[in-house]
């Protein structure tokens, strides 16, 4: 594939539009569904600093991806705000031609003090994760004794810095925080922020995922809609992962990300870059394609572009559409962890 053959499409005719960049595999939380403490405990070895892509390398790759059609960049991890001077990276990415949108997904722990400088550097949107308003439930899930109030402060600080509306991600796990669904909906109605309920996914191999712990999006919509009637909204952009709804009484918008019960692989235009520079064409891929090696061996932008184009052209991933109870139970595959690959 040469770049002259743009627009680029994979084997299922999906273009490359979004790049999720993991800037670190570390996190100060130990969410049970993502980095369970039994695995990510004291002895766990995270990537050494020299293996992480530098800001210059990240900006260069962002330019290469933008040249192939990427329009949206999202910084994630691990916890992206643990990476020092992240605002400098945001400013470098904001200068990339074609990158129309720069977003951040964060647990919020360090956001309140950084929201202003990030917004000033060119960050356009922020998604903050919060799984409950009840401290006991939230702390059970984050396993780091982190209180709800600090996340709410972070959301307010982001809005005050001009990053409103804030998206709030809530992973719903049966028997753990499903009772938090209605209080969360009540809290974020009429705030302008968009609460998104996420089905608990079988990412990685360490969280002990079971299908019966997934609360289907349809159930969540029926519970919330039973309290405050809802109506569906059209997707705001092609390839959007959340199904959108609005409260009929004008209370605002919510979303559900039904990656287990209603997979959306057909419209999946996302690539992921791990903190050590591997390109993953699916959240559930077992292996990535090393770009850091090429970068550090002196590859030209053209060579990098052609390499990425060739990978994307061969892409056939549609894990969620193929997922079955059986494969999940047997854990047949070697899937990368979400904290490493970037959520
Ligand atoms: N640390 C940041 C945060 O928590 O927002 C960014 C990285 S985190 C991996 C990105 C998103 O993935 C979060 O909203 C998190 O709740 C979600 N996530 C992690 N593990 C998940 C799982 N097993 N199923 C569904 N969502 C998950
Ligand atoms: Fe950390 Fe985010 Fe994973 Fe929680 S979901 S452990 S905050 S990376
Ligand atoms: Fe995209 Fe893979 Fe998720 Fe399907 S399973 S939506 S291909 S990341």
CATH classification of the domain holding 152: 3.20.20.70
Distance 343 CA to ligand 2 centre (A): 8
Q: Cα of 122 to ligand 3 centre, how many Å?
A: 28
Instruction: Give me the number of domains the chain comprises.
Output: 1
Mean pLDDT for the chain overall: 93
Cα three-residue angle 230-244-68, rounded to 5 degrees: 175
- Ligand 2, residue 77: give the atom nearest the CA: 8
Residue of 78, 132, 141, 207 with the most ligand 2 atoms within 8 Å of its CB, for mutation: 78
Calculate the dihedral angle through the C-alpha atoms of 25, 27, 29, 35, rounding to the nearest 10 degrees: 10
Instruction: Work out which ligand 3 atom sits closest to the CA atom of 272.
Output: 8
What are the pLDDT digits (tens) for 14-47? 999 999 999 999 999 999 999 999 999 999 999 9
Ligand 2: centre distance to CA 248 (Å): 33
Lowest mean pLDDT among 282-286, 296-300, 328-332: 328-332
CA–CA distance, 191 with 181 (Å, rounded to integer): 16
Which residue, among 258, 302, 340, has the nearest Cα to 20 in the 3D structure?
340
Q: Which of 20-29, 64-73, 234-243, 316-325 has the lowest mean pLDDT?
A: 316-325
Q: Residue 318: pLDDT above 50?
A: yes
Q: Which domain holds residue 180?
A: 3-341
Share above pLDDT 70 across residues of the chain, in percent, rounded to a whole number: 95
What's the Cα-to-Cα distance from 95 to each of 20, 90, 108, 296, rounded to whole Å? 17, 9, 25, 22
pLDDT for position 201: 92
Percent of the chain's residues with pLDDT above 90: 85
**Which atom belonging to ligand 3 lies closest to the Cα atom of 264?**
6
Q: What is the pTM for the complete model shown?
A: 0.95
Ligand 2 pocket mutation, candidates 129, 140, 198, criterion most atoms within 8 A of CB: 129
Residue 201 Cβ inside 6 Å of ligand 1? The answer reads: yes
Q: How far is the CA of 299 from the centre of ligand 2 (A)?
A: 33
- Judged by its nearest atom, the ligand closest to the C-alpha of residue 241 is 3
Closest to 30 measured CA to CA, from 70, 74, 78 = 78
**Cα–chain center distance at 305:** 24
Q: How many Cα atoms are found within 13 Å in the side-chain-facing hemisphere of 53?
A: 27
* Ligand 2 atom with least separation from CA of 109: 7
Name the DSSP letter for residue 205: S
From residue 272, alpha-carbon distances to 117, 161, 184 in Å are 25, 27, 29
* CB of 204 sitting under 6 A from ligand 1: no
Mutate to test the pocket of ligand 2, among 31, 105, 198, 340 (most ligand atoms within 8 A of CB): 31
Neighbours of 306 (CB within 10 A): 17
What are 85-134's pLDDT values in tens digits?
999 999 999 999 999 999 999 999 999 999 999 999 999 999 999 999 99
């Amino acid at each position: 594939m040469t770049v002259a053959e743009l627009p680029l499409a994979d084997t299922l005719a999906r273009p490359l539009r979004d790049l999720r960049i993991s800037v670190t595999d570390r996190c100060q939380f130990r969410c049970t569904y993502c980095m369970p403490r039994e695995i990510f405990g004291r002895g766990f070895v995270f990537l050494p600093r020299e293996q992480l892509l530098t800001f210059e390398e990240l900006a260069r790759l962002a330019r290469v991806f933008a040249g192939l059609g990427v329009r949206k960049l999202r910084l994630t991890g691990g916890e992206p705000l643990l990476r020092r001077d992240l605002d400098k990276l945001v400013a470098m990415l904001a200068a990339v031609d074609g990158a129309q949108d720069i977003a951040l997904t964060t647990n919020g722990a360090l956001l309140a003090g950084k929201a202003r400088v990030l917004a000033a550097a060119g960050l356009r949107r922020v998604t903050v994760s919060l799984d409950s308003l009840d401290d006991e439930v939230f702390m059970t899930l984050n396993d780091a004794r982190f209180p709800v109030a600090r996340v709410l402060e972070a959301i307010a600080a982001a809005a005050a810095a001009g990053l409103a509306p804030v998206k709030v991600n809530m992973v719903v796990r049966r028997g753990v925080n499903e009772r938090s669904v209605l209080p969360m909906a009540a809290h974020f109605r009429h705030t302008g922020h968009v609460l998104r309920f996420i089905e608990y996914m079988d990412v990685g191999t360490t969280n002990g995922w079971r299908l019966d712990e997934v609360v289907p999006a349809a159930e969540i919509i029926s519970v919330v809609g039973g309290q405050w009637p809802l109506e569906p909204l059209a997707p705001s952009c092609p390839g959007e992962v959340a199904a959108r709804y609005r409260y009929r009484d004008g209370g605002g918008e919510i979303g559900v990300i039904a990656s287990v019960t209603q997979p959306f692989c057909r419209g999946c235009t996302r690539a992921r870059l791990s903190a050590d520079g591997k390109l993953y064409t699916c959240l559930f891929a077992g292996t990535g394609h090393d770009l850091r090696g090429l970068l550090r061996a002196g590859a030209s932008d053209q060579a990098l572009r052609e390499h990425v184009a060739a990978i994307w052209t061969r892409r056939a991933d549609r894990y969620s559409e193929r997922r079955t109870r059986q494969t999940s139970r047997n854990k047949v595959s070697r899937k990368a962890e979400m904290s490493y690959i970037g959520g």
